[in-house]
A and B are shown apart, each in its own frame.
Chain A
């Protein structure tokens, strides 16, 4: 009975219910767009660290897990390798550079990342080959670079690095392509550590001739027991601080602030959605007081009345969310790769689930109001 009445009412009042479904759809677009933006920005910030083939990152102690401030030398790497539970260690260095497109277009900001061939930190390629040689002009580029300049295996690329007031240019060969591994909002070019060390903008922080990176990436023998390993590293290796990947990317400057801002926006949009949907159904309830009173008088139970309303709310809300989600998907899929929008994350999925809840949450007041309608009063028969 509840389903019958719910369907009939929605179907015979298509205009009214379409209106609220449209509002829900627009709220969905807004919430999902913010979620996609949050996810996209987060990915752009942390993608490389998130996809690392090592479980821990080791920073210089006292640098508050800052990849920019941290310096890790070869001697420290040797110490790390001796810690029990460490399977492999690779040096990773981060710097910024500019990529000069072969067609002469605008320079592209990139993250120039130094990695040790065959060790943790080097990304896995999906085309071409790994870096293999420690001293070479070979590089791996990520999909961000591929999307921007159409780089393929075997292509030469030229990067520009500012050293003080002078500009230096380096010609490199693309030997491998990897998936998106952005770091700090920039597409990534991976060079052998020694090559990177020669190209990076500054050489400060080096002690003698020791090769210095920003962090060390540790691959654990037992990825299920990271906490004891972190403690061992902190105790056994001087002047370092180990952290898991998530702790590391959350320490990226601005990451937490950016994400909390977007989460707040998302929450308030969601909250507005609850109010709008709740308001609509409450107005509808007020308009139906006499009708509901009559239905109860002729024998419809509170259960049936409540379910009818709830089914309508859930159905109309779900239709709105579906339309909104499809619209957002269509919209975001047409965005250029340079726009940090990602609808693939769990954030988007969580948002859809949350959006499906705005109807019942917003409508709960109206359902309670429906249940409280007294037939006598509604029909004007009360004293």
Chain B
């Protein structure tokens, strides 16, 4: 079942001779339970695409449909409300509210949606425990490592059972080992909870955990990789296909990044 669909989406910045097409007639869809990586060099349009999929930016043309609603047509206020209900986020940095504990950060989305009750609290507790943060529930972000903060952000992105979970460079500030742990956990949860997930990343090694890789170039989708072997080759760890352990140190394939 398709959870998110972008139909002929174009984003143009500026106007007249200064107009720049950041995203050019892109169409894509993501099913529930599918985890997709959006990759490409700087300036390829992947972040702009993610911003539009998140409802943070209105497309110049085309439609973005989530939960059967075209979010491009919504007012700013409606889109904000929609994001709180249907979209889960994990950002590159500044993910968490510094004055809330790990548990409170996760519960924030439940509170926002009016769903903070005993069961919700228990779910937040269980999710954080599942992410290895059972001993860190009452710690504030400043008392957590970068990896732990990203895991809290993942829990927050999933706690309110959104249609779509989006992650922008979730491993940018993590060392290799923690980056693998975070993305693997993210992928596992998306699959288990049957959400649609999209991750923008520069780090092709993280593609080994996704089901599909969409490569963007000059604002267009230049390539889509469905094949598991090709994905693992791209991630530079084809040995995993035979059940081997991830190879954090493996060299990534070149995409011209």
Q: Which residues does A use to contact B, with CB under 8 Å?
A: 1, 4-5, 8-9, 12-13, 290-291, 293-302, 375-376, 379-381, 383
Contacts and interface: CB of A to CB of B under 8 A. Distances in A.
Contacts of A12: 99-100, 140
Interface in B76-105: 77, 80-85, 87, 89, 91-95, 97-100, 104
A296 B80 contact: yes
B226 interface: no
20 contacts: A1-B111, A8-B104, A9-B99, A290-B94, A295-B97, A297-B89, A297-B91, A298-B89, A298-B108, A298-B109, A298-B112, A299-B81, A299-B82, A299-B85, A302-B80, A380-B92, A381-B47, A381-B168, A383-B13, A383-B48
B57 interface: yes
Q: Which 10 residue pairs of A and B lie closest in terms of their CB atoms, listed nearest first?
A: A299-B84, A290-B94, A12-B99, A299-B83, A9-B99, A376-B56, A298-B89, A294-B94, A301-B80, A381-B51
Nearest to A290: B94
Nearest to A296: B80
Nearest to A289: B94
B206 interface: no
Given A294-B95, A295-B97, A383-B13, A4 B111 contact: yes
Contact of A300 (B50, B91, B98, B112): B112
Interface in B32-63: 47-48, 50-51, 54, 56-57
Given A293-B94, A298-B83, A300-B112, 6 more contacts: A297-B54, A298-B156, A299-B109, A376-B51, A383-B13, A383-B47
B124 to A, nearest CB: 15
A299 B76 CA distance: 11
Contacts of B168: 379, 381
A297 B83 CA distance: 7
Nearest to B47: A381
B1 to A, nearest CB: 23
Contacts of A299: 80-85, 87, 109, 112
Nearest to A378: B94
Interface residues of B, number: 36
User: Which has the most chain A C-beta neighbours within 10 Å: B77, B84, B168?
Assistant: B84
A302 B79 CA distance: 12
B144 to A, nearest CB: 15
A170 to B, nearest CB: 73
A294 B91 contact: yes
Contacts of B20: 383
B22 A379 contact: no
A294 B81 CA distance: 14
Contacts of B56: 297, 375-376, 381
A1 B22 contact: no
A296 B91 CA distance: 13
A13 to B, nearest CB: 6
Interface of B: 13, 20, 22, 47-48, 50-51, 54, 56-57, 77, 80-85, 87, 89, 91-95, 97-100, 104, 108-109, 111-112, 140, 156, 168
A323 B80 CA distance: 39
Given A1-B111, A1-B112, A383-B22, A8 B84 contact: no
Contacts of A291: 94, 97-98
B81 A301 contact: yes
Contacts of A8: 99-100, 104
Contacts of A290: 93-94
A71 to B, nearest CB: 73
A381 B56 CA distance: 10
A295 B99 CA distance: 13
A1 B87 CA distance: 19
A379 B84 contact: no
A20 B93 CA distance: 29
Contacts of B84: 298-300
Contacts of B91: 294, 297, 379
Nearest to B112: A299
Contacts of A302: 77, 80
Contacts of A381: 47, 50-51, 56, 168
Nearest to A304: B112
A380 B48 CA distance: 11
Nearest to B20: A383
Contacts of B100: 8, 12
Contacts of B112: 1, 298-300
Residue from A1, A302, A376, A381 having most chain B Cβ neighbours under 10 A:
A381
Nearest to A299: B84
A300 B93 contact: no
A290 B92 CA distance: 11
B214 to A, nearest CB: 18
Contacts of A383: 13, 20, 22, 47-48
A9 B22 CA distance: 38
Contacts of A375: 56
A302 B84 CA distance: 13
Contacts of B57: 376
